[in-house]
């Protein structure tokens, strides 16, 4: 299966059905295998699934090459910090003009996430396609807001979204993201009964203690032990 059912313009490399939390391993921790064994003993009901960024980047590279037509007037956009990690791991973007753009997702328990995006600035005279590449698509809100804020600046451009890993979309748009002509993911994940699977990056959990607290309290049986593991990692990574 290469297209999502009900989403004829959403393409992907692999599909995963799971109820386990997913952690993107986007930092180099040389003793990570040993740490994973600790996680397996700590969490009895929902063991975390670890996906290395290099593996997901390779899936996305293959999907981009298979599902994206050549376009000389393509602008590649990387929104937010997660997209910078995607940029560093991908070879595909290097053949095109590319820009970084500010994007921030604020979230508090009990409230809907708030997405803040900036304008896309480029001196490239002609843009026929805008390819937005991120590490993960959860709700698609960041890409949607980015398109809404910048579509008038690029009236002749079609929009394509791409990511390492994506939740199964909920929008009725054919590509799963309103305003986008196409979406491409290395890996698509879906939880039981269509629920979203919790996804976070290891770098975020290590660097941001507030997010780590909320994440572990919500999804792990023994959050204190997991937080101690993160603290040990913090000494090596930060």
**Residue 211 structural domain:** 3-237
pLDDT digits (tens, 9 = 90+) for 189-220: 999 888 888 888 888 888 888 888 888 888 77
pLDDT at 184 over 90: yes
Helix (H) or strand (E) holding 16: strand 7-17
Burial grade of 73 (CB within 10 A; 0-12, 13-18, 19 or more): middle
More confident residue, 38 or 200: 200
Q: Which pLDDT score, from 0 to 100, does residue 110 have?
A: 57
Q: How confident is the model at residue 131 (pLDDT cuts 50, 70, 90)?
A: very high
State how many domains the chain has.
Answer: 1
C-beta neighbour count of 187 within 10 angstroms: 21
Structure tokens at 6: 């009900």
pLDDT at 41 over 60: no
Q: How confident is the model at residue 44 (pLDDT cuts 50, 70, 90)?
A: very low
For all residues of the chain together, what is the average pLDDT? 84
Helix (H) or strand (E) holding 147: helix 141-150
> Which of 80-84, 97-101, 216-220 has the highest mean predicted lDDT (pLDDT)?
97-101
CA distances from 92 to 57, 61, 123, 167 (A): 10, 7, 21, 22
In which residue are the tokens 């600035």 written? Answer: 121
CATH number at residue 162: 3.40.50.2020
pTM: 0.86
Q: Which pLDDT score, from 0 to 100, does residue 204 have?
A: 84
Q: Which pLDDT score, from 0 to 100, does residue 216 have?
A: 83
pLDDT at 38 over 50: no
Tell me the pairing of strands 114-117 and 22-25.
Answer: unpaired
Q: How confident is the model at residue 133 (pLDDT cuts 50, 70, 90)?
A: very high
Q: Which has the minimum average pLDDT: 70-84, 157-171, 180-194? A: 70-84
């Amino acid at each position: 299966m290469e297209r999502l059912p009900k989403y004829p313009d959403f393409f992907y490399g692999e599909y995963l059905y799971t109820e386990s939390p997913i952690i993107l391993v986007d930092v180099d921790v040389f003793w990570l295998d040993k740490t994973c064994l600790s996680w397996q003993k700590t969490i009895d009901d929902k063991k975390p699934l670890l996906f290395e960024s290099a593996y997901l980047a390779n899936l996305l590279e293959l999907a981009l090459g298979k599902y994206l037509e050549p376009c000389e007037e393509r602008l590649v956009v990387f929104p937010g910090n997660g997209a910078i990690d995607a940029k560093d791991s991908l070879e595909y973007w290097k053949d095109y003009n590319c820009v970084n753009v500010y994007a921030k997702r604020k979230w508090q328990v009990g409230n809907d996430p708030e997405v803040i995006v900036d304008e896309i600035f480029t001196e490239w005279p002609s843009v026929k396609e805008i390819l937005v590449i991120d590490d993960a698509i959860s709700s698609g809100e960041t890409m949607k807001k980015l398109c809404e804020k910048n579509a008038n600046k690029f009236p002749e451009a079609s929009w394509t979204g791409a990511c390492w890993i994506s939740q199964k979309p909920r929008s009725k748009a054919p590509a799963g993201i309103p305003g986008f002509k196409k979406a491409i993911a290395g890996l698509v994940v879906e939880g039981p009964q269509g629920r979203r699977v919790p996804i976070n990056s290891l770098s975020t959990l290590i660097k941001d203690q507030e997010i780590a607290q909320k994440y572990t309290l919500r999804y792990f049986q023994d959050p204190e032990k997991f937080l101690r593991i993160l603290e040990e990692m913090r000494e090596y990574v930060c």
